[in-house]
Chains A and B, each alone.
Chain A
Amino acid sequence: MVLDWLSIAILSALAGGLALAGGPLLLALLLAPKSKGRALKDPYECGMEPHGSAWVRFGVNYYFYALIFLAFDVDVLYLFPVAVYYPSAEGLGAFFAVAVFLAVLGLAVLYFWRKGVFSWPRRIRV
């Protein structure tokens, strides 16, 4: 039987959940008086008038520091298990794997170097 009691229970619980979520919204729509007004639809709710557009460009300076954190700190974090495993590794396969990993992260460091991050400027040119 496709529709056994468990399915019916699940479906009725689903319907009950939908009714409990949507019912109050529907009731409020039907039973509540409605405000009208100038500021009713304003997105900002602290009494002040919003001005300017929300679509402004932010200087994401901190993004560089987050990436440097990845390049140095998280890098070293992953090297700990490598260092534990390395003495028991056989052949040159492990060496090349670690070399590729470090080379990719080294490219990131080179990128930051090129951007002039390591002279610690007050504002990084993106």
Chain B
Amino acid sequence: MAPADPGVVPAVAEQTPPFVNIRLANQFLDVCRAMSLWPLTFGLACCAIEMMAVGMARFDISRFGAEVFRPSPRQSDLMIVAGTVSRKLAPAVVRLYEQMPAPKWVIALGNCAISGGPFYFEGQYGIIEGVDKIIPVDVYVPGCPPRPEGLLEGLFKLQEKITGRRWWPRPAAK
């Protein structure tokens, strides 16, 4: 962990548990949530192009229930941070994350969102070196940019994280 950066304020990620906290109900709802994740429409750099490709017919993320890209954080429960988080944009990302309603998850897509990627070097001043410095990240999808299949695999991993099991067949090894 790098020393605290005075210019970057991390998001408030606090959540209160549900009022009716029944294990079986939670498991059922988690499956429902995992099968219909609504991502926030929001791309920061070139990884967003891959995210758009995932939404289109060839890769078609709607096969896995996550095609409803919402224009408002109030309606989304998945934030795909697709691209470089510049220091100037970091407060906006934090604010959008804070405005999402409670069961919410984050996928860091691409090397920039994971660690700063190619912009990570000694003395750089413009880039947040990893979006996990400002918001909690659930799944990291490496690549520069990752292939659309990579983002789909990230979605599978997130569904696995939410529900505790993998829902889709693994690709056959060649």
| Closest CB pairs A-B (n = 10) | A47-B92, A37-B12, A37-B98, A39-B98, A35-B102, A33-B102, A39-B95, A34-B16, A36-B14, A30-B20
Known interface pairs A29-B19, A45-B72, A45-B73; A35-B104 also in contact (CB < 8 Å): yes
Q: Are A33 and B17 in contact (CB under 8 A)?
A: yes
Known interface pairs A38-B12, A45-B73, A45-B74; A33-B103 also in contact (CB < 8 Å): yes
Set of chain B residues within 8 Å of A31, measured between Cβ atoms? 18-20, 25, 29
B49 near A: Cβ within 8 Å?
A: no
Q: Are B98 and A38 in contact (CB under 8 A)?
A: yes
Set of chain A residues within 8 Å of B11, measured between Cβ atoms? 37
Q: Are B95 and A47 in contact (CB under 8 A)?
A: yes
A54 near B: Cβ within 8 Å?
A: no
| Contact count band on A | 10 to 19
Main secondary structure of the interface of A (DSSP, over half): loop
A32 near B: Cβ within 8 Å?
A: yes
Set of chain B residues within 8 Å of A47, measured between Cβ atoms? 91-93, 95-96
Q: Are B95 and A32 in contact (CB under 8 A)?
A: no
A49 near B: Cβ within 8 Å?
A: yes
Tell which of B15, B19, B29 touches A35, judged by Cβ atoms closer than 8 Å. B15
A10-45 Cβ-contact flags toward B at 8 Å (1 or 0) = 000000000000000000011111111111101001
Set of chain B residues within 8 Å of A45, measured between Cβ atoms? 72-74, 96, 99
Q: Are B12 and A36 in contact (CB under 8 A)?
A: yes
Set of chain B residues within 8 Å of A38, measured between Cβ atoms? 12, 95, 98
* Contact sample, A vs B, 23 pairs, CB 8 Å cutoff: A30-B19, A30-B20, A31-B18, A31-B29, A32-B102, A32-B103, A34-B18, A35-B14, A35-B100, A36-B12, A37-B13, A37-B14, A37-B98, A38-B95, A39-B98, A42-B99, A45-B72, A45-B96, A47-B91, A47-B92, A47-B93, A47-B95, A49-B91
